Amino acid sequence: MITEEVNSFGKNKDKTNLSVEEVAMGFIKVANEAMCRPIRALTQAKGHDTSRHVLAVFGGAGGQHACAVARALGMQTVMIHKYAGILSAYGMALADVVEEAQEPCSKNYEKGNFMYIESRLQYLENKCKNALIW
């Protein structure tokens, strides 16, 4: 059980075990913070104050997390579209199917290494094409 694993990993300061509900709430808090981080990064990087905006939510669990995420961002208003639960799925259905691959390379970008680099790029291209063919 996950609760037992969490409790065996690290004891609380007061040496009490966490309940199933406390462990579950911990996972929800982590998920909420993971949603807040990119919102903060995008808005604050452009000089916007999140507390002066409305949080628009989507996805099947959007409503479950909306209030906690808005509160963490200092927002007072949440907008939940009546089709919020299917908007994410609809967007996924419209999205392009892509495959990405990468590998490290410590070669200098110079004429003597161009053949090697080209061969590795060709390998990655073929790898992606094969993955998309299924």
Other C-beta atoms lying within 10 Å of the C-beta of residue 70: 23
User: Which residues, listed in sequence order, are joined to residue 79 by a DSSP beta bridge?
Assistant: 56
pLDDT exceeds cutoff 80 at 15: no
The span from the CA of 130 to the CA of 99, in Å, is: 10
Question: Would the pTM of this model clear 0.85, i.e. be above it?
Answer: no
pLDDT band at 134; cut points 50, 70, 90: confident
Cβ atoms of 66 and 86 within 8 Å: the answer is no
Return the domain boundaries, the chain.
Answer: 2-94, 97-134
pLDDT band at 128; cut points 50, 70, 90: very high
Q: Which pLDDT belongs to residue 30?
A: 95
Q: Which residues contact 115 (CB under 8 A, 6 or more apart)?
A: none
Q: Which pLDDT belongs to residue 27?
A: 94
Q: What is the pLDDT of residues 37-64, one digit of tens each?
A: 999 999 988 999 999 999 999 888 888 8
Indicate the average pLDDT of the chain.
90
Burial 12-50 (b: 16+ CB within 10 A, else e): eeeeeeeeeeebeeeeeeeebeebbeebeeebeeeeeeb
Segment 94-122 mean pLDDT: 95
Q: What is the pLDDT of residues 59-87, one digit of tens each?
A: 888 888 999 999 999 999 999 988 888 88
The span from the CA of 130 to the CA of 33, in Å, is: 36
Q: Which pLDDT belongs to residue 110?
A: 96
pLDDT exceeds cutoff 80 at 12: no
Closest-CA residue to 33 (of 88, 73, 4): 73
